[in-house]
Structure 1
Amino acid sequence: MTSLRRGKTLTRPDRVHAPAPMLRGQNRRKTLDPWVLFSKLVTFWAPGFILSKIGMPEKASRQAWREKVALCWIIALIGGMVAFLTLGLPYVFCPQSAMASLENFAQINTNTPVMSGKNNPSFPSGLDISNQFQHGSNVDACRNPLISGYPSAMYGPCVAKGGNEGCPLPPIEESASNYGLIPTGRKLGYDWVDVPNNFFVIDGHVLNLTPYLKAFPTASPDDVVDRAIREAIDNRIIDATRIFLRKPELIASIPCLVGKYFAGYLSKATPGCFGVKLFFVISMVIILGIVLTRFFMAVIFDWFLSFKLARPPRQQARHIIGSKSAPWANAGYNAEVKQIQLNPSDLFTVLLVTCYSEGESSLRCTIESLATTDYSDDHKLLFVIADGMITGSGNDRSTPDICVDMIELDPQFADPQPQSYIAVASGAKQHNMAKVYAGHFVHEGHRVPTVVVVKCGAPEEQTKPKAGNRGKRDSQLILMNFFSRVTFNDRMTPLDYDLFTKIHHLTGVTPDYFEIVLMVDADTKVYPDSLGLLTNCMINDPMIMGLCGETKIANKRDSWVTAIQVFEYYISHHLGKGFESVFGGVTCLPGCFCMYRLKARKGDSDWVPIITKPEIVQEYSQNDVETLHQKNLLLLGEDRFLTTLMLRNFPNRKMMFMPQAICKTVVPDEFNVLLSQRRRWINSTIHNLMELVLVRNLCGTFCFSMQFVVVMELIGTVSLPVAIIMTYVLIYSIATTTFTDAASYYPLILLILILFLPAVLILLTTRKLIYIAWMLIYLVALPVWNFILPVYAYWHFDDFSWGETRKVAGETKDDDHGKKDGVFDSSKITLRRWEDYERRRLRQDKREFGNHRPEKNLFFQRDHAQEQTASWYVDEDCMTSYGEHTRHTMHDEFEPIPQLDHTAQRELSRLYGPHLHQHQHISMANPPNLQQSRPHGPRPQPPRKNHDFSRE
């Protein structure tokens, strides 16, 4: 039989250029690596033997310290450059001695006090009395033979003749000593608009030709200097410099005219001062542009776009059975049914809760809030992962015991056995084991299928503290690896197969039905409508691959530490993420409350893996983390790094923020805990922004692009300490400055906009005036946010612990799940395909219950599965970045997950109960209410092909 399949010539492998991974795991760092050499050059003054004596015996810790110092040196350099450009630039290029601006001039104007009274003498303000002083009969420059014969050069405006005909005042030097006049050091200056009639400018000198024009009212026919003077005056040419550069006589007359008719200087800027002023204007335009753009975009998103995304989706009809379906697909269907009306909001959703050392009150609050969300219990699965055998500080029971005690265990899986899986760790810790508890969480009439994964550790680590602990990233990857292997029918670990079996038993559907995952931390309370709103966004815009809601603070009034965080949480969501959502590029989805697509529908019968994409799973599961950069990405900021990976692999898909979906979380109420938390957040933010800068396919171009915004955000983050110092310097200078013109108000306007524009955002979005009070508290605490926390974080770049954030009873400083211990033995973990696991299980069941049927009837018909060729997963939005014909595939011979045939269903119904058998010929137009008939058992579902995934 011949089957059609896509030929390899269409893929054009020569045009496929896969991006280099962000992290290179197995590649050892080269000794001559430029960054390593630079870090050693910067820290040449600290030899290795001295560092080993002061608490850094390992080579890796010494290198991390050197890289920390190098990073701090770069941050100090950037901060110094920002300070120089802001404060030092004028002193270098526009010093006070060379500044020819209005501040150095005594300006001619008429704003002088007016004297009132009777018969007072007239004091015309601003009158130039230079010509009332004796000048002598000639000026030395006027004796030049080229001009000495011209009347304009020979005429003296004021010559001492005695009586009333001469100058009333002696020469200026004598008058200054006679009348006690003290020079001010300021030059008499004119602005361009202040140059009056009969005045003009030559080379920056303002000349008053009024005495000459009164003495010679008519033109002299043979005097070229006179003609040039009258040309400038008659045509009202203020700048006459070009006129007097046309002939040698005119050039020679310039110093003569300046000596006789000089009235002042033109208040002009030197090239250096002009450049400084231009730089400041451009900088202010860019900063104001970014601030105002972020503000208006955030308002537009809140008022218009967010409500459009959150609205309930329309009803849809999907084809689920056709005449060309696989033979096994019609086993339990009415063949006449061609399509079914769906509630589009009922996407199968995994609710992932990762916990570590939380107490019962926090865990119960979180799980109860998820169970009571306005969403069908049949379409959500609680997936709780306890990260190790941990007892939190102040708890009387371990976290796994608390989690298991809260659910109603299924009797069939009451005593689970530890199952092996490959953990994210180094050395022997790569082998970890976990127990899967299956049951239901019951609360307020809700009965939600629940699995609790308890990471208990391998047998050899049972006597050690924190057995099984591998970190939050490992917990996330348990889910990501599981669904990735389900999607591609890849080989499974024993833990994966145990999860598959129990999820199928609890929900009645195979795990390939689940399309989205909501990730929630164990100290977060989710509002009832949040899950439905986030799901609506996923349905209304298929290009959304991840989104988050607003996180509010539950303990905002506990202490001053919590009070200063309220507005910071608000502004980071509504201003930062609101602006980024307009372009679909939210750079950080908080791990405490976010949603991702497991896969996206492509056409009617195909899927594109999203968070289950092998490249993302592989890079996120990197366990050989050596450099300081990698450790800050993966050990401290795994949530932000996952967002970075998603944006990098799917640059044309969207990361969004949904303000209507709300959760509340508990924030640190002690300053030392806040220090530890923000140290991790700030350091991971810097390293993730460094990765995002390299993503070339973000929307926009040059200054009008998300990449430019990321660069500005990176520079702003590392220069926070310098920025807060300059802010207070600016406030002091504004308080002590006399405002003389509009330009003097620019710094004040900029400061007011930056500090108080968020208050306008509050009025336009939340319309809760109480947030203005929280904003004022935040402004008072600006030195904490912009100086203390960043400086502390920068100096602790080489600290990869969680510090005071999560305390565990009996924990010591060296208890680190990332520490390498022993050698990994891969033979301890067996990887098999799902059908192989199922074959072994059915054989075991036959041995226990008796061999009543031939073995071939208990398994899937292999020819049915093999008829389906490899499914190519093509995502159109990736083609622009990775080549026109990028393909996502796991194996050359990809097989969908085989489904139980009709005979096997009857056999399983005999083993596990009659319900599967009695409903095997149900009609999809009128499905039975299986919740009433079997509240604790699996709901029978029709088998399906993996690459079709049509929902009922």
Structure 2
Amino acid sequence: MNPAFLSASNSSLSRPSYQPGINGTPPPSPPPLPGAMRPSSIASFGGLRNMSRRSSTTSSSTTQPASNCPLPVSPFVINQPPVSYQPFNFPLIHTMALVTCYSEGIDGLRTTLDSIATTDYPNSHKLIVVICDGMIIGAGNNMSTPDICLSMMQDDLTPRDDVIAHSYVAIADGTKRHNMAKVYAGFYKYDDETVPDKKLQKRVPMCLIVKVGGPTEQNMPKPGNRGKRDSQIILMGFLQHVMFDERMTSFEYELFNTIWRLTGVAPDRYEIVLMVDADTKVYPDSLSRMIAAMAHDHEIMGLCGETKIANKTDSWVTMIQVFEYYISHHMSKAFESMFGGVTCLPGCFCMYRIKAPKGPNGYWVPILANPDIVEHYSENVVDTLHKKNLLLLGEDRYLSTLMLRTFPKRKMMFVPQAICKTVVPDTFKILLSQRRRWINSTIHNLLELVLVRDLCGTFCFSMQFVIFMELVGTVVLPAAISFTIYLCAISVYKAISHDEKIPDTTLPLLLLAAILGLPAVLIVMTSRKLVYVSWMMVYLLSIFVWNFVLPAYAYWHFDDFSWGQTRMVAGEVAGADHGGKEGQFDSSHITMKRWGEWERERRSKAAILAGLPVPNFMVSDSGEDWSGQVKEEELSDESSGSRRTNDSAMPFAISRHTTQGSSGSAGGYSLTDPGYGNYPAGPAQDSIPLLNMHAPAPGGTIGRQRVSQYNNSNPFLPGPDRMSTFNPAQSRQFTSSPKLSSNLASSSYTPPPPPPGARLNSIDTRAPSPLLAMAAGSANASAQNQPNIARTGSPMPRLPSDRSNDS
């Protein structure tokens, strides 16, 4: 944090006004905060008071000077709409779009990022997260992949030269477990040639994570490279640590603050993540259709759309793949979707639920951020043939397998209306390498799933039986095509020689023709695109390649774990194994602390650099001594005279709090200018943070509870019929009993846009995230100067005994 900025009197905290359908234009210079307006997102270095509710305005006799904000948001941040704004007839859900890239060129990256940025889903609830897997220069590129991504960003949150690398624990073996990464943040920069329509060039927040590697690997060919699974675990592990308030690395702490400052939304408010490869083009309405499916059925934990081929006619290799892609989606995935158990969500285009509401009583269940999922997916010891096929060759399919194995009663669906296009291999050598990895990983993943007994259905009408048939069909493909060729040869020989000793082959040939012709009937009945009939004929001409050459080659190379030549890097040796071990891992280079500890350390250093008094954070106002032992303290409510017992499992300094505006609406700030009294600032309770909960009861394992106010504004939680069938013992979950003030009412208005040039005194219309309340403390003033203060119980999580050791 720049100390000069901390000492500045005017912080860039205001946000542009929100207009439905328009993202708003950032002002050239944000207005200063008046001294009488003290938003709760501003903290003082003089200490934190034990206050969770206060008026956003104070009388002139109690006016204090405006304090400085240690976590200022970007002046270009997109304002959050109210809950009533539902352009797709369902409450908007905060979504991350994860783009993993390795050695792609500027055209492929531009196509992917353009397609995500121009989707019709509101940008206020959309965040693009790009992860570059190392300092890589792809074959044919004149600059590295991170430099290409940086060229597509503007309005940087932090000057690029000031961004430093932070350590984190990577998925590798030996010394490579210690990796370092940089976090850049800004907004997506369009290209007028690829997106000529200025109306589509709306401001979209973008976070770029670049894995730069440790000091010892800077002279190596691929510094920082750890694979796609490590890129996914960076986000999954980060979300787990945030949701459960676990210890995190300095990199994750920096990522937390970056997301908040870039979007004004805390990371624990995000509920869905879209995973896209860097050579994929997403259709404009695909993101909205996928989120709509998630919003209307909370049992869906993952889904995928249809993947089409962008380079259909580049070569005969791409032509034979067109119909294979079509039937793999509209036959295989569509049939599996009937059971709610799609066995493979393609990594190039899929969506997972980070957390899911459980039942009508307001509970949350961690899904993608579940510790069991993250722990198994981040396995480092890969020493068997089975594990290497799962974790080194087919990580995308293995993530789907883990989801089905951990949550067998939830759904994995296929949404045919959500479409994307991707670039497929155009040479037979690359196709051979790709299918070798896919076929071998498919067999090993089906072996894992066939043992899961709790999947949908019974006996032959069960998902378990379908998986068994897929496993058998994959293994016997070479034998099946061999018998087919033998049948055709015998039929031709019988027709020529008229040998009576050869049995009649008419019926087998008719059955074979019916089986091969059934896809044509499917095309006519479903998509009605007769062009796919011609693609089917091309596929039938190459059926020997699909059913014999590719499977036989994969089985012969069952112990080959190299990635092949699908993604080549300048100077790289093809066929190198990316699962090798080098040296011994030294964990002393990586420090892990809870968010509150990182925040205290950062603010203390910033205060020293700014020449301000060092805040006293050694003992929090909740009575906790920061050693993990929670004390109970009787706190008086100065506004009502009541008394409450604080049983928060975390210090109140990082607990959730709300403010009450002068218009009487809780959870936001009011506009006090005389002409705008008809624009009240109510809470936008579209997402409730997971950390907003009490410590669990001893031995409790049921889901975590959401704030009850969210239920009143959520149309797809009708009542008891939404109870989940999920077994609560399958994951670590928590319980809570949130207590809201009786005057906390959900907002149901659509505010009109204020006149141009209006100075907004409000900073945020949502109740802040609990972790951000550390940075949202009030100034060090006596309670007598703030008469409208009421301390409420701050429900926070208590981790189980096996995960609560922070020493």
Q: Give the TM-score normalised by structure 1.
A: 0.58
Matches within 5 A, 1:787-866: 787-813=548-574, 815-851=576-612, 855=616, 865-866=648-649
Instruction: Using the aligned pairs only, state the percent identity.
Output: 56
Distance 1:341 1:776, change over 3 A: same
Whole-angstrom CA distance in 1 between matches of 2:211 and 2:759: 31
1:21-53 CA distance string (max 9 Å, x none): xxxxxxxxxxxxxxxxxxxxxxxxxxxxxxxxx
1:848-898 CA distance string (max 9 Å, x none): 22325853599775666448313856369999896x7555149xx9999xx
Letter in 1 for 2:732: H
Distance 1:743 1:694, change over 3 A: farther
Shift of 1:348: 0.3
Whole-angstrom CA distance in 1 between matches of 2:428 and 2:287: 33
Matches within 5 A, 1:382-531: 382-414=128-160, 415-443=162-190, 444-531=200-287
Matches within 5 A, 1:178-577: 330-331=53-54, 341=84, 343=86, 344-414=90-160, 415-443=162-190, 444-577=200-333
Secondary structure, counterpart of 2:258 in structure 1: helix
Whole-angstrom CA distance in 1 between matches of 2:620 and 2:364: 26
Secondary structure, counterpart of 1:601 in structure 2: strand
Shift of 1:749: 3.4
* 1:642 and 2:468 matched: no
Whole-angstrom CA distance in 1 between matches of 2:307 and 2:552: 26
Q: Report the counterpart of residue 683 of structure 1 in structure 2.
A: 440
1:109-158 CA distance string (max 9 Å, x none): xxxxxxxxxxxxxxxxxxxxxxxxxxxxxxxxxxxxxxxxxxxxxxxxxx
Shift of 1:555: 0.2
Distance 1:604 1:450, change over 3 A: farther
Distance 1:340 1:574, change over 3 A: closer
Secondary structure, counterpart of 1:447 in structure 2: coil
Counterpart selection for 1:752 from 506, 513, 523: 513
1:189-234 CA distance string (max 9 Å, x none): xxxxxxxxxxxxxxxxxxxxxxxxxxxxxxxxxxxxxxxxxxxxxx
Whole-angstrom CA distance in 1 between matches of 2:565 and 2:558: 16
Whole-angstrom CA distance in 1 between matches of 2:451 and 2:469: 14
8 Å contact 2:302–2:412 — kept in the other structure? yes
Q: Report the counterpart of residue 459 of structure 2 in structure 1.
A: 702
Counterpart selection for 2:696 from 850, 854, 870: 870
1:217-267 CA distance string (max 9 Å, x none): xxxxxxxxxxxxxxxxxxxxxxxxxxxxxxxxxxxxxxxxxxxxxxxxxxx
Q: Report the counterpart of residue 356 of structure 2 in structure 1.
A: 600
Q: Report the counterpart of residue 732 of structure 2 in structure 1.
A: 888
8 Å contact 2:157–2:184 — kept in the other structure? no
- 5+ long unaligned stretches in structure 1: 1-325, 897-921
Whole-angstrom CA distance in 1 between matches of 2:153 and 2:185: 8
8 Å contact 1:585–1:656 — kept in the other structure? yes
* 1:660 and 2:486 matched: no
8 Å contact 1:345–1:535 — kept in the other structure? no
Distance 1:378 1:772, change over 3 A: same
Shift of 1:711: 1.3
Matches within 5 A, 1:34-73: none
Whole-angstrom CA distance in 1 between matches of 2:763 and 2:380: 37
* 1:615 and 2:440 matched: no
Letter in 2 for 1:496: E
8 Å contact 2:156–2:185 — kept in the other structure? yes
8 Å contact 2:346–2:396 — kept in the other structure? yes
8 Å contact 1:508–1:938 — kept in the other structure? no
Q: Report the counterpart of residue 64 of structure 2 in structure 1.
A: none
Distance 1:656 1:327, change over 3 A: farther
1:328-363 CA distance string (max 9 Å, x none): 5544789xxxx9535334210000000000000000
Letter in 2 for 1:569: Y
Letter in 1 for 2:547: N
Number of matched pairs: 590
Whole-angstrom CA distance in 1 between matches of 2:188 and 2:456: 43
8 Å contact 2:342–2:414 — kept in the other structure? yes
Secondary structure, counterpart of 1:446 in structure 2: coil
Distance 1:651 1:553, change over 3 A: same
Whole-angstrom CA distance in 1 between matches of 2:320 and 2:55: 60
8 Å contact 1:651–1:878 — kept in the other structure? no
Secondary structure, counterpart of 2:128 in structure 1: strand
8 Å contact 2:357–2:364 — kept in the other structure? yes
Whole-angstrom CA distance in 2 between matches of 1:681 and 1:779: 21
8 Å contact 1:489–1:895 — kept in the other structure? no
Whole-angstrom CA distance in 2 between matches of 1:839 and 1:501: 13
For the aligned residues, what is the CA RMSD? 3.4
Distance 1:885 1:483, change over 3 A: closer
* 1:692 and 2:520 matched: no
Q: Report the counterpart of residue 43 of structure 1 in structure 2.
A: none
| Bigger Rg, which one | 1
Secondary structure, counterpart of 2:129 in structure 1: strand
Shift of 1:681: 0.4
Whole-angstrom CA distance in 2 between matches of 1:933 and 1:574: 53
Q: Report the counterpart of residue 770 of structure 1 in structure 2.
A: 531
Shift of 1:712: 1.4
- 5+ long unaligned stretches in structure 2: 1-48, 58-81, 191-199, 625-645, 651-693, 705-721, 739-745, 772-793, 797-807
Secondary structure, counterpart of 2:545 in structure 1: helix
Secondary structure, counterpart of 1:797 in structure 2: coil
Q: Report the counterpart of residue 234 of structure 1 in structure 2.
A: none
8 Å contact 1:874–1:886 — kept in the other structure? no
Q: Report the counterpart of residue 110 of structure 1 in structure 2.
A: none
Letter in 2 for 1:697: D
Distance 1:587 1:878, change over 3 A: farther
Whole-angstrom CA distance in 1 between matches of 2:418 and 2:348: 13
Counterpart selection for 2:408 from 651, 654, 668: 651
1:761-783 CA distance string (max 9 Å, x none): 11111111110000000000011
Shift of 1:593: 0.1
1:400-434 CA distance string (max 9 Å, x none): 11111111142435321101111000011100000
Whole-angstrom CA distance in 2 between matches of 1:860 and 1:734: 88
Whole-angstrom CA distance in 2 between matches of 1:932 and 1:689: 61
Distance 1:439 1:859, change over 3 A: farther
1:263-320 CA distance string (max 9 Å, x none): xxxxxxxxxxxxxxxxxxxxxxxxxxxxxxxxxxxxxxxxxxxxxxxxxxxxxxxxxx
Q: Name the structure, 1 or 2, with higher relative contact order (CA <8 Å, separation 6+).
A: 2
Choose between structure 1 and 2: higher helix proportion.
1
8 Å contact 1:683–1:797 — kept in the other structure? yes
8 Å contact 1:419–1:495 — kept in the other structure? yes
Worse overlay, 398-407 or 519-528: 398-407
Letter in 2 for 1:806: R
8 Å contact 1:439–1:450 — kept in the other structure? yes
Letter in 2 for 1:441: Y
8 Å contact 1:371–1:441 — kept in the other structure? yes
8 Å contact 1:632–1:684 — kept in the other structure? yes
Secondary structure, counterpart of 1:807 in structure 2: coil
